[in-house]
Amino acid sequence: SLWIDVVLPCSPAAKAGLKKDQRLVGLNCQSVIGWGEIEALHWLRSYPDSRDLTVIVQDSLPNPLTDQHFSNPNLHSSSP
């Protein structure tokens, strides 16, 4: 699973309501369950800045033994 580690204050992610320790479950209606950190970061970094991004998250606490964490301070997103 992928988890949000950092949301910078005043960032688009913060303005969209994303929070630390939320589980990332979808990007633009595409499931990211089973994605690794590298795959998710590559996808996010290649996404055009000029397009809105829908980020689907789940509020829950991570399991440190099985879950990966990632942070992308340049995340530009909108939240459903």
Segment 5-48, tens digit of pLDDT: 999 999 988 998 999 999 999 999 899 999 999 999 999 899 99
Show me where the domains of the chain are located.
2-70
User: Tell me, what's the pLDDT at 49?
Assistant: 86
- In CATH terms, the superfamily for domain 2-70 is PDZ domain (2.30.42.10)
Tell me the pLDDT band of 78, cut-offs 50, 70 and 90.
very low
Determine the Cα–Cα distance for residues 68 and 3; give it in Å rounded to an integer: 7
Mean pLDDT of 52-64: 79
The model's pTM: 0.66
Are residues 77 and 54 in contact, defined by beta-carbon separation less than 8 angstroms?
Answer: yes
Rounded alpha-carbon distances, angstroms, from residue 36 to 12, 50, 66, 69: 23, 25, 12, 10
Strands 68-70 and 2-4, how do they pair? parallel
